[in-house]
Amino acid sequence: MTENTNLLIHLGGLGDVCLSESIFFSLFRYYEEGIIGLGNKRFLQLFKEYFTEVESVETRKWIYLFSNAEPRTIWKRVIFIGKDRHGYLRKRWQRFSQQPLIFIDMYPDIAMEKEQGVQPEHIEAYQLRQLAAYGIRPLIETIKPRPSRRVILYPETGFIKEKWDMNNFIGLYERLRSQGIMVVVLQALDAPIPVKDWIYIEDITHVKSFFQEGGIFFSNDSGMAHLAGACGLFTITLFFQYDSRIWHPRGRNIYLI
């Protein structure tokens, strides 16, 4: 079956998806026939305005993309945003694309190093720069600031990345509260915190609505910080492992090393 629409495959987490919003916007403006977004549906759904549909890559419906079976559907164009150092996925997915596949390298390999020897390039700019090879005009999606006196703290437990200690967040919370500042802790599932003003939101779309009320978001480097920035909050982000100049959230921000 041949489709007259495009398939965008994004194989990133929450932070990666948020950093790709300008890519989504650029492609949305370029392809009038529409784009189906495929990846982590919970995260891509946060940017559903750029897609005609959003699908989960984990469902049985899409398992054929990862098999050697004959293509079930041929898309007008496949767009792949991810990491593919050896080109295996590009070669596989070109079979499903009428036009040459578009590949956007999600981030340069040196981005995983703590310090760069040259002036680093932010991930958003790195991704947008790659569109020129396909004749697509790069467009930056402007983030509308949402100023508010509310401060949101987001402590979490790190499994890979080094994090600011939980007790530091408690101390900051108590200090802000004692000064009459409106402060609330957004509680992570793995990090309950013994404070009076806290909130836990399970549904990520409800988190987005919560962020859209505005404020300042203080956290470690995390996917949630990138969502906060994309929603217009002023972000203050702590980096211990990766280069903050490359990975900082979009929008108005301060990043600390």
End-to-end CA distance of the chain: 51
- Give the model's pLDDT for residue 163: 85
- Give the model's pLDDT for residue 193: 84
Confidence of residue 161 (pLDDT cuts 50, 70, 90): low
Question: How many C-beta neighbours within 10 Å does residue 220 have?
Answer: 21
Query: Is residue 201 predicted with pLDDT exceeding 90?
Result: yes
Mean pLDDT of 74-103: 97
Mean pLDDT of 78-94: 96
Answer whether CATH 3.20.20.450 is correct for domain 151-256. Answer: no
Query: Is residue 117 predicted with pLDDT exceeding 90?
Result: no
User: What is the value of pTM for the model shown?
Assistant: 0.93
Query: Is residue 190 predicted with pLDDT exceeding 90?
Result: no
- Rounded to 5 degrees, φ, ψ at 6 are -110, 150
In this chain, the answer to whether the domains covering 6-134 and 151-256 adopt an identical fold is yes
- Give the model's pLDDT for residue 241: 83
Q: May I ask the CATH architecture of the domain 6-134?
A: 3-Layer(aba) Sandwich (3.40)
For 95-99, 118-122, 168-172, 195-199, which range has the lowest pLDDT when averaged over its residues? 118-122
Query: Is residue 162 predicted with pLDDT exceeding 80?
Result: no
Confidence of residue 191 (pLDDT cuts 50, 70, 90): confident
Spell out the domain ranges in the chain. Answer: 6-134, 151-256
- Give the model's pLDDT for residue 123: 97
Residue type, 166: M
Looking at per-residue pLDDT, the higher value among 1 and 102 belongs to: 102
Report CA dihedral (109, 115, 118, 119) to the nearest 10 degrees.
100
